[in-house]
């Protein structure tokens, strides 16, 4: 197992430095051309790969060109258009309801505050953070998806399990100017190397400072289970 740096703050800073060097072009992988498309793409991405979402939204965004179109279509037809997405029936309902609210309460515009976004159907803090960061250039938190959750626990940055608690702890450790980039660095590294089931610790730039490193480590701190 690796040896973390002396303080969590030092550990977080070193993680950011190394991952920035490894993934210099790290950014959001969802494709969109406006705030509504971003919001819909993020809603669809829950428990679904970005690759699948991008494939689905390519035709979705051609068919529906604004909140009026989503609000007018039947939920059944919208669900059919999303049939390759996980939980497509529920997500169709979220999107239709969200667009109705955007029309009725926000003059057809995607709102720009955490409180207003999280009042929309199917929008939690994670989704709202993504929309604020990439749609409104407002960074007030860290997006905690499954990759961020897994890596931050494996690297000893947190012992929390719930995304909201992990976010609060990371916001104390990660410098604010890196809050947005931290998520994408974790996603890139989680996809390329630090995967959920079989992380490639032998080819990991963080192995020497990772307390979960499999060389002689016994436990995956992300799950708490033995390797």
Catalytic residue set: 126, 145
| CB contact set of 48 (below 8 Å; sequence gap of 6+) | 85, 86, 87
What pairs with residue 220 in β-bridges? Answer: 225
Q: Could you give the 3-state DSSP secondary structure of residue 225?
A: strand
What pairs with residue 226 in β-bridges? Answer: 219
Is the four-CA dihedral 209, 213, 219, 224 of positive or negative sign? Answer: positive
Q: Say how far apart CA 4 and CA 49 lie, in whole Å.
A: 31
Q: At what angle do helices 35-44 and 50-63 cross, to 10 degrees?
A: 130
For the record, the structure tokens of 214 come out as 């499999």
């Amino acid at each position: 197992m690796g040896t973390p740096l002396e303080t969590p703050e030092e550990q977080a800073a070193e993680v950011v430095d190394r991952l920035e060097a490894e993934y210099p072009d790290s950014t959001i992988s969802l494709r969109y051309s406006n705030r509504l498309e971003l919001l819909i793409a993020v809603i669809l991405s829950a428990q679904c790969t970005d690759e699948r979402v991008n494939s689905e939204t390519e035709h979705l965004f051609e068919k529906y060109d604004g909140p009026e179109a989503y609000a007018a279509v039947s939920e059944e037809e919208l669900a059919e258009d999303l049939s390759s997405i996980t939980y497509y029936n529920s997500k169709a309902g979220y999107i239709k309801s969200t667009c109705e609210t955007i029309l009725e309460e926000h003059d057809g515009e995607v709102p720009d505050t955490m409180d207003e976004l999280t009042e929309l159907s199917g929008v939690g803090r994670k989704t709202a953070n993504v929309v604020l960061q990439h749609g409104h250039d407002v960074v007030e938190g860290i997006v905690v998806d499954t990759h961020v959750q897994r890596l931050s626990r494996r690297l000893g940055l947190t012992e929390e399990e719930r995304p909201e608690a992990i976010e609060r702890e990371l916001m104390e450790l990660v410098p604010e100017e890196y809050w947005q980039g931290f998520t994408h660095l974790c996603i890139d590294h989680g996809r390329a190397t630090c995967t959920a089931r079989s992380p490639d610790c032998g080819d990991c730039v963080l192995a020497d400072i990772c307390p979960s490193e499999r060389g002689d480590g016994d436990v995956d701190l992300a799950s708490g289970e033995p390797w």
